[in-house]
Amino acid sequence: MIRNSLRNDNTLRNLCLICIVLAGIVLAVYWHVINHQFLSYDDNVYVVNNPHVSSGITCKNIVWAFTSYYAANWHPITWLSHMADVQLYGMDPRGHHVTNVVIHALSSVILLLFLFRSTGSLWRSSFVAALFALHPLHVESVAWVAERKDVLCAFFGFFSLLLYSEYVTRRKPALYFLSLLSFIFGLLSKPMLVTLPVIMLLMDYWPLDRYSHEVQGQGMKHFSAKALLLIKDKLIFIFCSIMSAAITIYVQGTSGAIRSFDVIPFGNRVENALIAYVKYIGKTLWPLDLAVLYPMPLNLPLWEVLTSLAILLIVSSAIILSGRRHHYLVVGWLWFLVTLLPVIGFIQVGTQSMADRYSYIPIIGFFIMVTWGISDLLGDFKYGKGFLALLAGVILISLTALTRRQLSYWQDNISLYSHTLQVTTDNDKITTNLGVAFAEKGELRAAIREFQEALRINPNNKQARNNLGIALQNIRAQDEAFK
């Protein structure tokens, strides 16, 4: 069906036009980042103050990229991409930002091609790709140079899925190999892609419909046989995921990045995970008050935990009941749940309770559910198609406006940290960062206020205490100079 649709000149023309328009809109919306600076939050670690990256591509630096556990990560492809930017643009932040935007635009197009190749539905696939391209939750991944690993991971992941869907149709071993190679490149960009084999199994169920074709027959016994065959088809993908996960846990464990259960008990992590899942859904539907860091609370209200658990159970039950008729609901929901698992906090790295960047790939599953669901619900109405077109336009225009506004907060350190403190509470790390940003601009009294606030929130914040002492000494020196 899909191949026949591609042979249609009008469909092929529309597909090419939509791809061009989609990429153009992404570049237009995000082009403002060309005026953005490097941030003190991780950009210094990844690029500015990293001698291996800031010296560009050399044999020594390439070896370092594949052997280093720097910044508690092992992602050599990401390091090489940063080095390539330095080689091309030097330390001018504009080029580094533009690279992120271009990769995001290409990923949006590849996502569209993958969905269309798999489902045969051009307009639904286009809308999901547009939601991915323009959603404000993705500003963090695109506008933050240090999150190059996010956009690279998605680019290679989507390309792997596109090649896999082509392999399912044409059965050429070269396509399977290229899909595997792209998957490996994705893992070497960011190990969050370890769940991709599960996504492939979900796509086998819908829309590729391989479970009904691999083995003839019906019933659970035959379904299990089909599933086993499809799992065997992906054993090498699964092996690569296991190896990537093991390396990541080892690297982060030896680097001291993984927080022990003495610091955050497992029960607290489960409670936070339940709440985080629901918050991701909420911020997908209502993307306001987005922040670069959502601090992990010391205590979570029981009512919030139980409400989140109830919401997840109710949604899951509804999807199971309707999933037999609407397979895309099962696939979309499991895509969302499974791809968030590596970063939902069971293995806690850092001080965040959740992060916008973690939703970069997972919320595509939610987009699929909503897009196909609303289309099925309204498509048979007399004016359904017209209403859907109007609704899609309103949604995309609204998201574009919110994305442009969210982008403005990422232009420099003070803008980003100030906004984050407006939408979060008890955020001593970002309060300290804001104090450092003020101190670097010579606004010492403002810096002192922020350091004192950080210590009020967390008296054990050593960075804030040290910076406060330095700022007080400097301001005394200034005062004496004016006497």
Quote the CA–CA distance of 43 and 164 in Å, as a whole number: 34
What are the residues whose beta carbons fall under 8 Å from the beta carbon of 254, sequence distance 6 or more?
Answer: 69
Q: Report whether 183 contacts 193 (CB < 8 A).
A: yes
Q: Report whether 136 contacts 287 (CB < 8 A).
A: yes
Q: Report whether 230 contacts 211 (CB < 8 A).
A: yes
Q: Would you state the structure tokens that stand for residue 149, as one six-digit string?
A: 């690993």
- State the residue for tokens 């492939």: 200
DSSP state of 46: I
Write phi, then psi, for 366 (nearest 5 degrees).
Answer: -65, -40
Quote the CA–CA distance of 373 and 367 in Å, as a whole number: 10
Q: Report whether 435 contacts 451 (CB < 8 A).
A: yes
Q: What is the pLDDT along the chain (483 residues), one digit of tens a residue?
A: 444 545 577 888 999 999 999 999 999 999 999 999 999 999 999 999 999 999 999 999 999 999 999 999 999 999 999 999 999 999 999 999 999 999 999 999 999 999 999 999 999 999 999 999 999 999 999 999 999 999 999 999 999 999 999 999 999 999 999 999 999 999 999 999 999 999 999 999 999 988 875 444 455 666 677 788 899 999 999 999 999 999 999 999 888 888 888 888 899 999 999 999 999 999 999 999 999 999 998 789 999 999 999 999 999 999 999 888 899 999 999 999 999 999 998 888 878 999 999 999 999 999 999 999 999 988 777 777 888 999 999 999 999 999 999 999 999 999 999 999 999 999 999 999 999 999 999 999 999 999 999 999 999 999 999 999 999 998 877 665 554
Q: At 346, which helix (H) or strand (E)? A: none
Q: Report whether 417 contacts 451 (CB < 8 A).
A: no
Quote the CA–CA distance of 329 and 316 in Å, as a whole number: 10
Domains and CATH numbers, the chain: 2-414 (no CATH), 426-482 (1.25.40.10)
